[in-house]
């Protein structure tokens, strides 16, 4: 994909010697490609908000996982103990 984009920019730049509007088209394409790469995480944004947003997403995901783990373990703790006790008793008396 990147190679095709580079070829297209080169061709548009070459057509710019025939008509300057092609140089404008090539410049717009270069600008759009660099902005798209920057928004996807290809570079640092000016405000640095993308890194902060990524960290906030990570924090939210981690807190949801911790809440789920606490809830799940609390609900099933007694069942796990019964199963463990049964397993120990079963091994003791074959």
pLDDT digits 0-9 by tens, 16-35: 888 888 888 888 888 888 88
pLDDT band at 87 (very low <50, low <70, confident <90, very high): confident
- pTM of the full structure: 0.37
Helices 2-15 + 21-37 axis angle, to 10: 160
- Cα–Cα separations (whole angstroms), residue 94 to 81, 84, 87, 91: 20, 16, 11, 6
Residue 6 has pLDDT above 80, yes or no: yes
Given this model, what pLDDT does residue 8 score? 84
């Amino acid at each position: 994909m990147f190679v095709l984009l580079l070829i297209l920019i080169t061709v548009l730049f070459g057509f710019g010697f025939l008509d300057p509007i092609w140089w404008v088209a090539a410049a717009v394409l270069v600008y759009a490609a660099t902005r798209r790469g920057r928004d996807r995480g290809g570079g640092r944004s000016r405000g640095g908000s993308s890194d902060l947003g990524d960290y906030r997403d990570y924090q939210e995901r981690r807190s949801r996982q911790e809440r789920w783990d606490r809830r799940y373990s609390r609900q099933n703790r007694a069942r796990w103990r019964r199963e463990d006790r049964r397993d120990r008793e079963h091994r003791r008396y074959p």
